[in-house]
Amino acid sequence: MLLRCNVLHKALSRNFHLTSPHGASRGLQKIRICDMTSGLAGPYCSMILGDMGAEVIKVENHKGDESRHWRPPFVGGESCYFLSVNRNKKSMEIDIESEKGKNILKELVHKSDVFIENFVPGKMSELGFGYESLKQINPELVYASISGFGSHGPGPKKPGYDIIASAMGGFLSITGPKNGDGFPVGVSVTEIMTSLYTSSAILAALYEREATKKGKQISSSIFQTQLAYLSHIGSNYLNTGKLSKTLGTSHPSIVPYQALRTGDEMIIIAATNEKHFQNVCKALDIQHLVTDERFTNNQKRVANRDVLIGLLEERLISSKARYWIKLLEEASVPCSLVNTVKQAYSSEQAIALDMIQTVEHESYGKVKLPGRAIHYNNSFTPLPPPLLGEHTRDVLKNILHYSEDEIESILRNNKNT
């Protein structure tokens, strides 16, 4: 309650303009984010905060967020990529390399709680917007920087993209077909994980600020994230020197835990303990494998992986996938069909969890977006992703209190640039 009251007092003193999505969490309703990010990791981070009720001002140059140009596919002229990570935001178009643009940004920083940027390390300082400069304007500012490889060592100037960090961070060496070449997974999970880490750090810094009345500088990078979430694979190497390799869908320490062939589709079976393995054998009517000396515990099953998988698939290919899924589920075995994205979104579970959100924008029409991973005990209707500069006038007028003449001059300059 004290946190909420302090934040409310601070927000009201800034003439805060509420724009939280209808039904969103009110946890960050009084928090304003100055968002200087583009691409994936930064925008996903600010979108998470917007989903929590924060007012996110997305500051863009005249070309806009680079992901606006990552198309096809697109909807109404806007890239689907951009639409997927920019809901619940306002777009303000300014030239931060001009003196006027710099002054506008500084005024916005003064009235913001959080500043997020994902420029190449050092670029913000060159422009006069490094942490040391901005904390003079707003001592309570939480300043978060997201980069490809951090600000120290030989890596800061390297391109900060998921596939580069995945290659450097060892992820590609463990992801791919058994004994084959490594490859990235279907989405940029390392950048998304970086967003999650960074948004959590921002929340912690905001909470700490209520006690200290001081802001904080936060630095994250997709390379650090990649190494951090290697999890047991990293631990295996660090403690035993053992390197993991590509194993397809299988697990290095659990068997069976992978995709298996049936008479038609692939299915996943995840037998993480002895009871699960016994139930697998019961469901498949091959109970004799439970007492087979080669498979009587997980360590033996790992050692005899190829033999066991061969025996399981020999049985599974005799019938279709859905037949086996029914029997395995009845036996309480963790399992699933290997769904397409279409099957996943149309599944009963996805529908029950409202994992497709439809928003309507007056310019590009209806857009379907992936739903949120977190639900609150109220409804949620996200605000549509903004057009480039769509809210420039709103921010200048209602937050920074510029006159109509000043606003018109800035808008004319944007059109002429």
Residues with catalytic function: 251
Q: Which residues contact 121 (CB under 8 A, 6 or more apart)?
A: 145, 147, 150, 151, 156, 157
21 prior amide bond cis, ω within 30: no
DSSP class of residue 286 equals: -
Nearest to 117 by CA among 225, 45, 27: 45
Nearest to 203 by CA among 35, 3, 365: 3
Torsion (CA) 106, 109, 115, 121 in degrees, nearest 10: 20
Cα–Cα distance, 252 to 21 (Å, whole number): 44
Residue 363, sorted as left (phi over 0), alpha (psi -120 to 50) or beta, turns out to be alpha
Identify the H or E element spanning 257: strand 257-261
SS (H, E, C) 89-114: CEEEECCCCCHHHHHHHHHHHHCCCE
